[in-house]
Amino acid sequence: MQSIVHVCLAGLSSGMFIWLVASGLTLIFGVLGVLNFAHGSFYMLGAYFSYTVLRHLFPNFWLGLLLGPLCVCAVGFVVERFFLRYVYRLALPYQLLLTFAFVLIFDNLVKIVWGAGSLTPPDIGFLAGSVPILGRKFPVYNLFIIGVGPLVAVALWLALERTWAGRIVRAASSDREMASAIGVRVPALYTGVFVFGIWLGALGGGLAVPYVGLLTPGMGETIIIEAFIVAVIGGLGSLKGAFLAALVLGVLSSFGTRYFPAFDMFLTFILMAAVLLVRPQGLFGDAR
Amino acid sequence: MSMGNVLLETRKLSNWFGKICTARELDLAFEEGVLTSIIGPNGAGKSTLVNLLTGNLPVQAGSVLFRGKDITRFPIHKRVRMGVCRSFQILNIFPQLSVLRNVMIPVLARSGRSMRPFAGISGEKAVLRESEELLEKVGLSRVRDSVAGALSHGDQRLLEVGVALAAAPVLLFLDEPTAGMNPVERVRLLESIRELSRGGRSTFVLIEHDMDIVFSLSDRVIVLHRGEVIGDGPPDEIRENARVREVYLGDEMTDVFRITGEE
Amino acid sequence: MPDDRVTGRLLRAIAVLAFVAALASVPLFAGKFVIYLAMRVMILGIFALGYNLLLGGTGLLSFGHGAFYAAGAYGLGFFSLHLSPNPLLGVAAGIAAAMLLALLIGFFSVRSTEIYFAMLTLAFGMMVFSLIWNARDITGGDDGLIGIMRESIPLFGGVKISISQDSRYYFLVLFFFLLSFWAVHRIRNSPFGLVLAGIRENAKRTEFAGLAVRNYRLAAFVISGAFAGLAGSLETLLESNARPFMAHWTHSAEPVLVSLLGGIQTLTGPVVGSILFVAMREIVQRFTENWMLWFGIVLLVIIMGFRGGVVGVVRQLADRARGPRGG
């Protein structure tokens, strides 16, 4: 019982990282119709930027979390404004490969700047340490992550449903032409949504900094695959689906690592295949 | 040609988009050799009906029968193989293939030779001959080697009908085949439809806006309004039908005499 | 016009012959390293040629073909370690394994198209990767499957052809490369190829032509998987090992990059792309470790400016030089 609860909690916290990356991925896909292969790389950049702020500029966790992702947003702006914008009308392979080119570029740049090895996480103050749950210690920071994920989900939901900007975003995602006909400046909106989506991923990266062994140049590649799987299971473009799928995936692979270490990733794929057999469009995707 | 032989039948066929009903318990039968037109104001459910009958939309309630066989859940390609095909209101051709290749695809499909990975396409003499004959019939021989996407709009519309015909359908639905054509092209296309219909190999069902065409060409006219049949019979009868006049003479009048070319 | 066509055909025949002659004479004058690189080019070429049947042919973008490459590699590996060292039978086993896997993965994947398809194949490919990586007892895990020997090919009457030397194995690779090239050329010009082109252009209309689009997609998927398997088994014979990273998605991306580099709408595009890809990698790696960065930049340039790929650009230039004929 005790160990099951702990495995669940560990799964939930790793699921939240996947959720943060998948949320940005899903939002961008929903509005721009582009699958951003580089999203994992932005997550990685978020981590490295936050790390640098934390280590070399201001030794404060919250400042790192604020400034790191903001720097990544600037990178995201350049990518959208000067590259991605020109391929919206092209066939899928070109869009996907453009973002893939950025995966290659960013991953390699990170290797050049920060080195190929993994970095040691800096001190994060009061969030360090652990608390006893059912008689066994559980890291405070993981509890913090489990709190942040739903917070972001609720904030996103409120922003999309209750604000003027959110309504415009939803309108644009269901009908691009109509949105432009009622006077929405679609190009600016796209840039905004892309940069915001990047911020979500980079925030996930910033939050990953305190984890030991997570900060490597390959961290983006691992999570982008998981985020893809989550997006497929949840139904492409559905934030609700992405959230649920991320939790399920996190917990499932946590159980996998604990009880079937040789096949942890395999379970995930079984889940995906099963969902797709029953519902090819994913849990909350539109039937196409 | 044996008239009165029922090809396609619907039983309590219904469809909704959200709360809007686009087909309400429709019981229709399409007979062999009867050139039928489906008319109705915008949003009457004409295209929905064709979509349901040809498998382009899943049926929500009711059933569709072809020659007495229930085909409600049949996928598109199976229906086409049985003989139910269609053309589209919005152009639906293979834009980067040549005109000849466009019609070859359905002909190949019928020949049962379309799974051959190593046979040369130029060796398919019978398929080539049949495709060329078909282009002759719809008047596109002069552009057989042009890329379909580069044709004039009128020719692309002809090709749209040609590709549908190439499947050698028993029953062919033409969804506004003349949309966007100029008057000369329009008359020419409808003349060839009339001729093909008399030829008796295919039975045509038209969705058409131009009332002159509908009443001069059709043997039977079905009038849809908000998913229901409000008139069904020979053109003369429909012209006198009070309910039809009411629907068409209301504020939707302009719709009837709308020039489809302006779409 | 007919004159044009005849000279065109003649020119093409001459070009093909010259190309084959050049390839066949490589072991005569070139050093070991060039022979090795030429084999890598041809193996990547087979991978990309088959892959492009799917991408250029039907418009489906798969990010999981590394899995079939690996199936070919491990298929050959298991076969030659446990059953028979006959290289030809091993290659056949590799192809069969790749096709079986492609059938299984394809069954799930071709139900979707576009982005869904890309993500599904990516995920399934990574599933195979993680299986190979984790099933250490069977596959050797991250060490890979090692000790695969390049035995002689037994012919009838007890005659054997030795391929243990690279300069000899070269001809086996060349043979399969030419065979693949010919096969892909035939497929592109067959009724089946026309149906695939129809699916690429307009899947709905293809269904309304009376064709079960999904089956054709699956067939194309399995065929391209077979080529991937062939390439994988040939590489395994060349390197005498099979590695899990063959199934990794970064490897799956290679045929996509290669096809795009050369031009996806052409038969020769993937081959030209393979030559450039291998050459670029060798040259860049000589000067810097940051080969990924440079390749990313090249990729950016191609996508932003030269979408027809190298073959497309050359064709455009040739058309322009030939005078104003339009098109």
pLDDT tens for each residue of A86-130: 888 887 778 888 998 999 999 999 999 988 888 887 777 667 777
Q: In chain C, which ranges are continuous DSSP H helix?
A: 2-29, 32-52, 66-78, 87-109, 114-134, 136-139, 166-188, 191-201, 203-207, 213-239, 249-262, 269-287, 291-305, 309-321
Beta carbons of B80 and C212 less than 8 Å apart? no
Complex ipTM more than 0.90, yes or no: no
**Considering just the CA atoms, what is the radius of gyration of chain B in Å?**
19
**Arithmetic mean of pLDDT, C238-247:** 92
What is the C-alpha separation between C327 and C325, in angstroms, rounded?
A: 7
The token pair at B230 is 């409000």
Contact C276, C63 (CB under 8 A): no
Domain boundaries, chain C: 30-247
From the candidates C303, C304, C306, which should be mutated to test the interface with A, based on the most A CB atoms within 10 A? C303
Q: What is the pLDDT of residue A262?
A: 63
Chain B positions in Cβ-Cβ contact with residue C193 (cut-off 8 Å): 117, 121
Structural domain containing residue A105: 2-278
Question: How close is the nearest chain B Cα to the Cα of C214, in Å?
Answer: 10
Q: What is the pLDDT of residue B209?
A: 77
* Size of the B and C interface in Cβ pairs below 8 Å: 104
Contact B128, B67 (CB under 8 A): no
Instruction: Tell me, yes or no, whether A283 lies in a domain.
Output: no
Number of domains in chain A: 1
> pLDDT tens digits for B161-189?
999 999 989 999 998 888 888 888 888 88
Q: Is B216 on the interface with C (CB under 8 A)?
A: no
Interface of B with C in 155-194 (CB under 8 A): 163-164, 166-167
Q: Is A88 on the interface with C (CB under 8 A)?
A: no
Question: How close is the nearest chain A Cα to the Cα of C13, in Å?
Answer: 32
Q: What is the number of alpha carbons within 13 Å of residue B143 lying toward its C-beta?
A: 21
Pairing state of beta strands A136-139 and A130-133? antiparallel
Tell me which residue in C183, C201, C208 faces B80 most closely, judged by beta carbons: C208
Beta carbons of B77 and C210 less than 8 Å apart? yes
Q: Is C216 on the interface with A (CB under 8 A)?
A: no
Instruction: Tell me, yes or no, whether A287 lies in a domain.
Output: no
**Considering just the CA atoms, what is the radius of gyration of chain A in Å?**
19
> pLDDT tens digits for A135-191?
778 888 888 888 888 899 999 888 888 888 888 887 777 776 777 777 777 788 888
What is the C-alpha separation between C218 and C106, in angstroms, rounded?
A: 6
Instruction: Tell me, yes or no, whether A227 lies in a domain.
Output: yes
What is the C-alpha separation between B56 and B76, in angstroms, rounded?
A: 7
**Percentage of chain A modeled with pLDDT above 70:** 94
Instruction: Tell me, yes or no, whether A288 lies in a domain.
Output: no
Beta carbons of C208 and B85 less than 8 Å apart? yes
Question: Which run of H or E residues covers position B104?
Answer: helix B99-111
**Arithmetic mean of pLDDT, A212-226:** 83
CATH assignment at residue A210: 1.10.3470
- pLDDT above 70: residue C95: yes
Tell me which residue in B92, B95, B108 faces C191 most closely, judged by beta carbons: B108
- pLDDT above 60: residue C1: no
Q: What is the pLDDT of residue C3?
A: 65
Instruction: Tell me, yes or no, whether A174 lies in a domain.
Output: yes
Question: How close is the nearest chain A Cα to the Cα of C203, in Å?
Answer: 14
- pLDDT above 90: residue C230: yes
Per-position DSSP letters for A182-250, written without gaps between them: TT--HHHHHHHHHHHHHHHHHHHHHHHTTSTTT-STTHHHHHHHHHHHHHHHH-TT-HHHHHHHHHHHH
**Considering just the CA atoms, what is the radius of gyration of chain C in Å?**
20
Tell me if residue A118 falls in helix, strand or coil: coil
Task: Quote the mean pLDDT of chain C.
Answer: 88
Task: Report if pTM > 0.90.
Answer: no
Q: Is B123 on the interface with C (CB under 8 A)?
A: no
- pLDDT above 70: residue C26: yes
Task: Quote the mean pLDDT of chain B.
Answer: 84
Instruction: Tell me, yes or no, whether A284 lies in a domain.
Output: no
Instruction: Tell me, yes or no, whether A285 lies in a domain.
Output: no
